[in-house]
Structure 1
Amino acid sequence: MIGYVTLGTNDFQRATGFYDQLLGVIEAKRAFSTDRMVLWASPKPGRPRLGVIKPYDDKAASSGNGTMVALSVDGPAVVDQFHAKALELGGADEGKPGSRGGGFYGAYFRDLDGNKLCVFCMVKE
Structure 2
Amino acid sequence: MLGYVTVGTNDLPRAAKFYDAIAAEMGVGRMMDFESFIAWGAWGGPPGIAATTPFDGKPASVGNGMMVALEAKDRDQVHKLHEIALTNGGSDEGAPGPRGEADENGMVFYAAYFRDPDGNKLNAFVMAKTE
Find the counterpart in structure 1 of residue 57 from structure 2: 58
Cα deviation 1:43-78 (Å, max 9, x = unaligned): 8x5310100011000000001111101010100000
Find the counterpart in structure 2 of residue 2 from structure 1: 2
Q: Name the count of aligned residue pairs.
A: 124
Unaligned runs of 5+ in 2: 103-107
Find the counterpart in structure 2 of residue 46 from structure 1: 45
Q: More displaced, 19-28 or 82-91?
A: 19-28
- Normalising by structure 2, report the TM-score: 0.90
Amino acid across the alignment from 2:119: G
C-alpha deviation, 1:118, in angstroms: 0.6
Identity %: 47
Rg (Cα) greater in structure: 2
Cα deviation 1:59-118 (Å, max 9, x = unaligned): 000011111010101000000000011001121000000011331000000000000001
Query: Contact between 1:67 and 1:116, CA under 8 Å: does it hold in 2?
Result: yes
Find the counterpart in structure 1 of residue 105 from structure 2: none
Find the counterpart in structure 2 of residue 17 from structure 1: 17
C-alpha deviation, 1:22, in angstroms: 2.1
Amino acid across the alignment from 1:115: N
Find the counterpart in structure 2 of residue 114 from structure 1: 119
CA RMSD between the two structures: 1.3
Alignment of 1:98-109 (within 5 A): 98-101=97-100, 102=102, 103-109=108-114
Amino acid across the alignment from 1:25: E
Find the counterpart in structure 1 of residue 88 from structure 2: 89
C-alpha deviation, 1:42, in angstroms: 4.5
Runs of 4+ in 1 over 3 A off after TM superposition: none
- Normalising by structure 1, report the TM-score: 0.94
Partner Cα distance (2:79, 2:38) in 1: 25
Partner Cα distance (1:124, 1:2) in 2: 26
Query: Are 1:124 and 2:123 matched, yes or no?
Result: no
Amino acid across the alignment from 2:62: S
